[in-house]
Amino acid sequence: MNDNVIKIQNCRKSFGNLEVLKDINFTVNKGDVVCLIGSSGSGKSTLLRCINRLEKIDSGNILVDDIDIYDQSIDLNKYRAKVGMVFQSFNLFNNLNVIGNCMIAQHKVLKRNKQEAQKTAMFFLKKVGMEQFAKAASTQLSGGQKQRVAIARALCMNPEILLFDEPTSALDPEMVQDVLDVMKTLAKEGLTMIVVTHEMSFAKEVANKVVFMDKGIIAEEGSPQVIFTKPNNPRTQEFLKRIIR
């Protein structure tokens, strides 16, 4: 018996001659919050993008619920609906208002009818504190509001796993906390999440596991207590010294 939701085995990925992921191995259990840390260019985004197949790995396996997600026979769109993604640059649909952003994929992918989609959208907009903006144009929101809508949009698909790629890095400092609070709530509710972040206090408080990536390899992984207080790898120590002032 195991409750691994995600198993990543010997994954490699290159862009041309640049090997971005070099033999990546790790597992995520159900309900885990995994924080991926590491300096810019170490391959964190690429790894997330390989997990929801926005990029393709060159070799190795990624198993989600024990199913090989690179198997030709799986329905890619169904798989993606199950694994949500929140981007650094929000990527709200500019041609749709807030609730439209939350409804479109429910309608197109899950084939929910309008009422059902609307109800679900309002439920999750309320959860992220954006219900009063349901009718607002997505382009008129502040960054923090946009990111909360983007989270609600992902939640509307009832994902099993939610991937966050530096969700607060593009935000003005005063808005970071709003977004982190939403993420904390989701973590408490038991949603499985992988979060690329530079918010070390968030990682300390919420993560079950912290993974430190360095130049395409996992240099160290462990509980936040271990990683933040007595990391084994000198590279981890160096990185943390740089980032925590």
Partner 1 sequence: MKYLTITGNQFIDACLSILITFWPSLLLGVKTVLLVAISGTIIGLVIGLIIGGLRAIKVEKGSIIYFIKWVYDILAKCYVEIFRGTPMMVQAVFIYYWLKPAFGWSPIIAGIFVISINTGAYMAEIIRAGIQSVEIGQTEAARSLGMSAQQTMMSIIIPQAIKNAFPAIGNEFIVNIKDSSVLNVISVTELFFQAKSIAGSLYRYEETFLVTAFVYLFLTIITSFILNLIEKRINKTKTSFPTSSTTTNMVKAQGEH
Task: Give the binding site for partner 1 (CB under 8 A).
Answer: 40-41, 45, 52, 54, 77-85, 87-97, 104-105, 108-109, 137, 139-144, 146, 150, 153-154, 157, 166, 169-172, 175
The token duo for 174 is 């005063």
3-state secondary structure of 168: coil
Contact between residue 242 and residue 66 where contact means Cβ atoms under 8 Å apart: no
Give whichever of 47 and 149 is closer to Mg ion, judged by the CB atom. Answer: 47
Least Cβ distance, residue 173 to partner 1 (angstroms): 10
Contact between residue 138 and residue 149 where contact means Cβ atoms under 8 Å apart: yes
The token duo for 77 is 């769109």
Residue 149's contacts (CB-CB under 8 Å, 6 or more residues apart) are 90, 92, 98, 101, 102, 125, 128, 130, 133, 138, 141
Least Cβ distance, residue 120 to ligand ADP (angstroms): 31
Q: Which residue has the tokens 């640049």?
A: 18
Least Cβ distance, residue 12 to ligand ADP (angstroms): 13
By CB under 6 A, residue 167 contacts ligand ADP: no
Which residue among 34, 46, 145, 175 contacts ligand ADP (CB under 6 A)?
46
Burial of 149 (0-12, 13-18, 19+ CB in 10 A): buried
Give whichever of 57 and 154 is closer to partner 1, judged by the CB atom. Answer: 154
Residue 229 contact partner, candidates Mg ion, partner 1, ligand ADP, none, CB within 5 to 8 A by sort of partner: none
Choices 36-44, 98-106, 135-143, 173-181; region in contact with ligand ADP by CB under 6 A: 36-44
Give whichever of 99 and 227 is closer to partner 1, judged by the CB atom. Answer: 99
Which residue among 8, 45, 145, 209 contacts ligand ADP (CB under 6 A)?
45
Give whichever of 108 and 230 is closer to partner 1, judged by the CB atom. Answer: 108
Distance CA(193)–CA(29), nearest Å, equals 10
- Cα 228 to chain centroid distance, Å, stands at 21
Point out which residues bind ligand ADP (CB under 6 A).
Answer: 15, 20, 38, 40-46
